[in-house]
Each structure stands twice: as structure tokens, then as C-alpha cells.
Amino acid sequence: MKILSLFFILLTSLIFGEAVGQQTNAPAITKQIWLDFNPEYIINSKFILYGRMDVRTIFPQSWYRVITGGGIAYRRTPLWDKRAEEEFHAGIGFFYTLNIDNPDRFEIRPYQGYRLRWPNFARLTVQNYVRLEERFEFTGDGGGEEFGLRLRYQITGTFHCTHCDNRFVKPFYLLLSDEFFINLNGTQQFNDLIRIGPGLGYLFPSGWRPEFDLTFNRTRGTVDEKFTTSDLVFRFRLFYKIPDKKKKQGK
């Protein structure tokens, strides 16, 4: 019954996403493919280092995008609930967009964020993530630079099959993510409004965690346009927890 309830939530969310996408008379619909690699190293019980290497493209093809960057997180357990978990994040991202019919663009994006996992049960975890991003965007034709500022809020529910008897099925997990964007000061490209969709992942004991997300993205091409573009994003993510060599040698 719980699995059926989760799929009902996924279906309702996708319907809601389509409703958002139909608010305009003639929306443009595109498909995108995102490939992500996200390594992570746990320094100790408090601090975590992490990075990203992403490649993205769109169909019909008008651009390619390469992303890299990294950050650090400070993790602690709140006093008000020992099962909860909160993290304070800071990092930077570098985004290079190769446009087919327009000049290329390069963006430097520092950010600060707060993540709260609560309620945090064995079978279900709800994650809230608030992030402020400063966007410094440069054009490849020397046309100058732009500054953008936006606030992002993401809520994700993750369902773990902790009591499954099958060893192969047990590491699977389902998730549903909703993310909202508040563009305080938009830039020339990639001014999103909402992202929503389900995902499926698998936890390997070795630290590898592949995940596939199907995301509906509502966006606009430039800061001067209305939100008339709907993207269907096929996202393949690969997470990896880098093992601690000292712990291995201790064993």
C-alpha cells in the first residue's frame, strides 16, 4: 500500500507539472539529456567535501553545456530531534555553454545553502534544501558581463525498501523532487521557474550510487521572455563516496 501511495504522489506531481506547463497558449517543448558525476569525500563526522562534473545537451540541439565545481558541507544533528540531520553548504560552480547559433557563455556561480533532512525515518526521508546563488555570466563575443541572483528551494521525498526480503531489491530507492526558483535578478540564459519529477536509484556497498531522474522543467530562454518553455529532462547521475584509506588500513 505504501508503494502504491508513493506512485500516486508521483503521478499527481507530474500532472501538476503539466498543468504549470500549459499556462501559456503556445509553449515550446524540448528534451534534454544530463550526465552527472558527483564524488564525495567524508573528512570526518562534521565535514564533507564534494564535487561535480556534468555534461548537458538539448534537442532540438541549440547548445551544449559543461559544468564543474565543488563545495564543502558542515553536518550536525539538531538538538530538537536526534533523527534529523542538517548541513550548511558553500561552494562554487563553473558553467560553459557552447551555443550553436549564438556566442558562447561562461558562468561562475558561488552559492550558500542549508539542507535539512527531517523527518528522517528508515523507510522515508524528507529533505529540504534552500540555496542562494550569485551568477556571474560572461559572453564569448566580448559583449560584457551580467550579474544574476536567485533563490532555490527543493523538497525531496526518498522511499527506501528497508524491510524488503530480496537482497537485490533492498538497495533500490524511489524519490520525488520539487524545486522552485525565485529569480531575484535574471541572467541572459537559464532562468528556471520550477522542476518536478520522480527518480530511481540503487545503493551499492562499494560507495557507488547510480540514479535516474525524469524531470519536468519550466524555464525561459532569456531574461526578457515569458516562461513559455517546457523541458523534459532525462538525467543520469552517478554518486561515489571516496573511501577513507586510513580506515581501510586500520581494518
Cα(64)–Cα(83) distance, integer angstroms:
41
| CB distance 28 to 230 below 8 Å | yes
Share of the chain above pLDDT 70, in %: 82
Please state which of the ranges 58-62, 202-206, 233-237 shows the lowest mean pLDDT: 58-62
- Give the pLDDT score at 102: 86
Cell numbers found for residue 239: 554518486
Question: What's the gap between Cα 80 and its chain centre?
Answer: 28
Cα(147)–Cα(88) distance, integer angstroms:
24
Q: CA dihedral defined by 96, 100, 102, 105, rounded to 10 degrees?
A: 0
- Give the pLDDT score at 163: 81
pLDDT band (50, 70, 90) for residue 13: low
- Give the pLDDT score at 186: 76
What integer is the mean pLDDT of 146-156? 95
Bridge pairing between strands 229-241 and 28-42? parallel
- Give the pLDDT score at 221: 62
Measure the N-to-C terminal CA separation of the chain; round to a whole number of Å.
42
Is the model's pLDDT at 185 over the cut of 80? yes
